[in-house]
Structure 1
């Protein structure tokens, strides 16, 4: 629940209320409430404004996750898949875009203007395995460029993940992070 709450909005609301109480107390000569309003309200109000200015909103789920897929996630999802899902579905502060450092490391973000934008996620099942689908708006990075980076993407998000890239519509790329079973050691005779 706290992950879905904007700390900036919370700071702005509480700070604004305390500041208002402080001003009312100042004009009614109530020194105690006046101090609370000025010493706590104004800093909270300014902190809330600063957080809102640097706020990155959560990425929405484009489809609700069915209970069967949630159960499959609990059984199969890797630590990386869970971390990505949790990170992009909560408010972030001080970042310019979701997964910006990952895209930069993978060579898929030459500049801020060219960087693909994560616009949604969904969870599904592909070949009896849990899959986390990252939906990117990618007008300046082509599917061919993404495909050239596929091995690097798998290495970056792995182990235990295979990547499937698709382009459902023009300018949109879907990156499916699919749980891969661990490699079984070969028995020797």
Structure 2
């Protein structure tokens, strides 16, 4: 739940309230204690909130709701990599230009920040009885064929227990499906 709360917005609201209380205390109430709270706490918190808001990367939205059957399948089959990716992209991030930017750079799918594919949405589904996490990227600088050529590298990168399938939706939209391939005796990750 806390992953869905913007720290930048919290800083703006709390800092704004404290700053306003400080100004009211200074100009209207002549209350030195409230005045100090506003100036010494409110303004720095407000500025911190502004800084966080400026560097904030919003969570990737789900393109469709996840059914209870898929959640149960996730609980049984999801790998640590799938769970980590799902948790990382569905929370606020700070100081990053795009979700999974370091992974995309390591895979040579993003040579510069300007050319980095942008994660548009995610969804959880089932593929032939296996839990699947689908990442939809807007990728204007890397055609679908470039993604398709890296399918094997993506599989080994996100690897063990994950098979990757790339699907082109159009010239600029690509879906990357991370499909669980459970190994006998492997303990699933509970999310």
Task: Note the C-alpha offset of 1:183.
Answer: 6.9
- Alignment match, 1:5: 5
- Structure 1 pair 183/105, CA: closer, same or farther in 2 (3 Å)? farther
Q: Which runs of 4+ in 1 moved over 6 A?
A: none
* 1:69 equivalenced with 2:83 (yes/no): no
CA–CA separation in structure 1 for the residues paired with 2:153 and 2:21: 56
Further displaced range: 54-63 or 21-30: 21-30
- Report 1:1-189 matches (<5 A): 1-27=1-27, 28-182=29-183
- Unaligned 5+ runs, structure 1: 185-189
CA–CA separation in structure 1 for the residues paired with 2:184 and 2:68: 28
CA–CA separation in structure 1 for the residues paired with 2:30 and 2:115: 57
Count of aligned positions = 184
TM-score using structure 2 length: 0.93
TM-score using structure 1 length: 0.94
CA–CA separation in structure 2 for the residues paired with 1:13 and 1:83: 30
CA–CA separation in structure 2 for the residues paired with 1:45 and 1:160: 45
- Unaligned 5+ runs, structure 2: 186-191
| RMSD value, Cα | 1.2
Could you list the per-position Cα deviations for residues 83-129 of structure 1 after superposition, in whole angstroms to 9, with x for gaps in the alignment? 10010011000001100000000000022222211000000000100
Task: Note the C-alpha offset of 1:59.
Answer: 0.4
Q: Which has the higher contact order (CA 8 A, sep 6+)?
A: 2
CA–CA separation in structure 1 for the residues paired with 2:182 and 2:16: 52
